[in-house]
Amino acid sequence: MTDAAEPGNELELEDDEVDDGNVLDDELDDGDDLDDEEVDRGGDGNRVHGGTARATLEYIARSLADTPDAVVIDGEERGRSVRYRVHVAPGDMGRLIGRRGRVAQAIRTLVRVGGARDGVETNVDFVDD
């Protein structure tokens, strides 16, 4: 049994095989072939285009509605932007819009922040059926 640590049994390594001891580089290499730019844009990996914005909108709309099961959100993607159309029960429309549209504007602002996190521009429309 030979041991590489014994004198005369040194291994010759190429420059790209040498471990420089940088643990951070080893931890960051997750094996995927995406560039950092693709990851920042949301990439095509497991992320849903505008997923944070949609989840935020759905949570807020269902929380405000008296009939949360009637909340339906349709999303339409166009390039780097997403338009969400919110359908609610007729009695809940006033709760989502609020006086002078203040609640609706606050919802749009929060959804815009969620979309910015994913690198997506968002627009929210409240549809009266």
Tell me the residue type at 98.
G
84 φ/ψ angles, rounded to the nearest 5 degrees: -105, 135
In a domain, 90, yes or no: yes
The CATH number for 79's domain is 3.30.300.20
- Is-contact 85 74, C-beta < 8 A? yes
Residue 86 lies in a domain: yes
Residuewise pLDDT in 10s, the chain (129 residues): 555 555 666 556 555 555 555 544 544 555 555 444 444 444 454 456 778 899 999 999 999 999 999 999 999 998 889 999 999 998 899 999 999 999 999 999 999 999 999 899 999 999 877
Residue 8 lies in a domain: no
In a domain, 83, yes or no: yes
Residue at 45 is within a domain: no
76: in domain: yes
Residues 67/91, Cβ–Cβ less than 8 Å: yes
Q: Which domain holds residue 72?
A: 51-127
Q: How many domains does the chain have?
A: 1
